[in-house]
């Protein structure tokens, strides 16, 4: 992302012009039906048996429906389809049709 700010004063008033250029798809949130691919560490959700994974853009995905469930402590490569379903977890965008594979990399604490 590139940001350019230009401020000039005129009679006590300031004119502020900001132009921001960014890649069009870089910040686009996934839409219902999109397939997402994430390599990250699964982590416990705020509710009891809920399981989450956080994408590189900070989006939290609810992967509680993954079967089998990934183990905590190891990074996984995951693919799933974005839904608009609600969950008792009250956290994250729910994914369905989840498939994942473990990597050899351990997660940090």
Alpha-carbon distances, residue 41 vs 1, 78, 104, 107 (angstroms): 26, 10, 12, 6
What does the pLDDT profile of the chain (109 residues) look like in tens digits?
Answer: 333 333 334 343 333 333 333 333 455 779 999 999 999 999 999 998 999 999 999 999 999 999 999 988 889 999 999 999 999 999 999 999 999 999 989 988 6
Nearest-angstrom CA–CA distance, 3 and 78:
33
Task: Please tell me the predicted confidence (pLDDT) of residue 5.
Answer: 33
Single pTM value for the model: 0.73
CATH second-level architecture of 35-106?
Beta Barrel (2.40)
What are the sequence ranges of the domains in the chain? Answer: 35-106
């Amino acid at each position: 992302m590139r940001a350019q700010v230009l401020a000039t004063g005129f009679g006590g008033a300031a004119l502020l012009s900001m132009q921001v250029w960014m890649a069009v798809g870089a910040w686009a949130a996934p839409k219902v039906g999109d397939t997402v691919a994430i390599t990250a560490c699964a982590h416990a959700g705020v509710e009891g048996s809920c399981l989450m994974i956080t994408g590189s853009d900070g989006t939290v995905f609810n992967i509680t429906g993954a079967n089998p469930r990934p183990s905590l402590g190891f990074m996984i490569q995951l693919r799933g389809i974005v839904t608009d379903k609600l969950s008792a977890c009250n956290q994250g965008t729910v994914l369905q049709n989840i498939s994942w594979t473990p990597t050899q990399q351990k997660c940090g604490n």
